[in-house]
Amino acid sequence: MRSPTERLLLHICCAPCATVPIKRLKERGFEVIGFFYNPNIQPPSEYKLRMGQLNKLDIEVIYGEYEPWRWFNLTRGYYDEPEGGKRCAICIRMRLGQTALMAKKLGIEYFTTTLTVSPYKDADMINTIGYELGTTYGINFLRENFKKRDGYKESIRIAKELNLYRQHYCGCIFSKRK
Ligand code: SF4
């Protein structure tokens, strides 16, 4: 059993998806700190809407920069990829990479992401990227699959209880238009 003082930086894609990871990670004894870094989200009004829900979560949240130009540059050439394809791998690597860097800067021992709550997301792909980044930056990446044990269903239930806004597309403009 780890020391209960170990801190974990949780990359948060949106408040509803964060509900179950926060609960489960706290149960495992982690001190959870949120990190909202999602330059993929379009339009900017949607970004603000999702960001505005985070104060309903019972944790401290650090807000990364909103830099969509960087996201569009990195994913250029992959705009027509299907959801779950190469554009998503680049997008996830970008967001988790920034999380690993922030964890390193703050001296936080672990990092992981809420992204595996979604039934539309490939946990193996996310965990492989997270592990590689953890190795690169010398931070422990916590491999997780929060959709297990009915995690997604539970996240919807808690989101309703907290009256959280729930979006109907992943985030980028290409996932919105499909
Ligand atoms: S569909 Fe979601 S994960 Fe894939 S590129 Fe768009 S925002 Fe990123």
Nearest atom in ligand 1 to 88's CA: 4
Q: Give the side-chain half-sphere CA count within 13 A for 146.
A: 27
Residue owning the nearest CA to atom 5 of ligand 1: 88
Per CATH, the homologous superfamily of domain 7-176 is HUPs (3.40.50.620)
CA distance 67 to 160: 30
| pTM of the shown model | 0.96
CA distance 163 to 160: 5
127-135 LR contacts (CB < 8 Å, sep 24+): 129/89, 129/92, 129/93, 129/96, 130/96, 133/93, 133/96, 133/97, 133/100, 134/100
Reduced to 3 states (helix: H, G, I; strand: E, B; else coil), residue 8 is strand
Q: What backbone torsions phi and psi does residue 66 show, to the nearest 5 degrees? A: -95, 105
Q: Domain residues of the chain, as ranges?
A: 7-176
Calculate how far, in angstroms, residue 37's C-alpha sits from the geometric centre of ligand 1.
13
Calculate how far, in angstroms, residue 113's C-alpha sits from the geometric centre of ligand 1.
14
Calculate how far, in angstroms, residue 94's C-alpha sits from the geometric centre of ligand 1.
11
Q: For a ligand 1 pocket test, name from 83, 120, 167, 169 the mutation site with the most ligand atoms within 8 angstroms of its C-beta.
A: 83
**What pLDDT is attached to residue 3?**
59
Answer whether 40 contacts ligand 1 (Cβ < 6 A). yes
**How would you write the pLDDT of the chain (178 residues) with one tens digit per residue?**
555 579 999 999 999 999 999 999 999 999 999 999 999 999 999 999 999 999 999 999 999 999 999 999 999 999 999 999 999 999 999 999 999 999 999 999 999 999 999 999 999 999 999 999 999 999 999 999 999 999 999 999 999 999 999 999 999 999 987 5
Nearest atom in ligand 1 to 90's CA: 5
Contacts of 70 (CB under 8 A, 6+ apart): 39, 94
CA distance 153 to 56: 19
The string of pLDDT tens digits covering residues 102-134 is 999 999 999 999 999 999 999 999 999 999 999
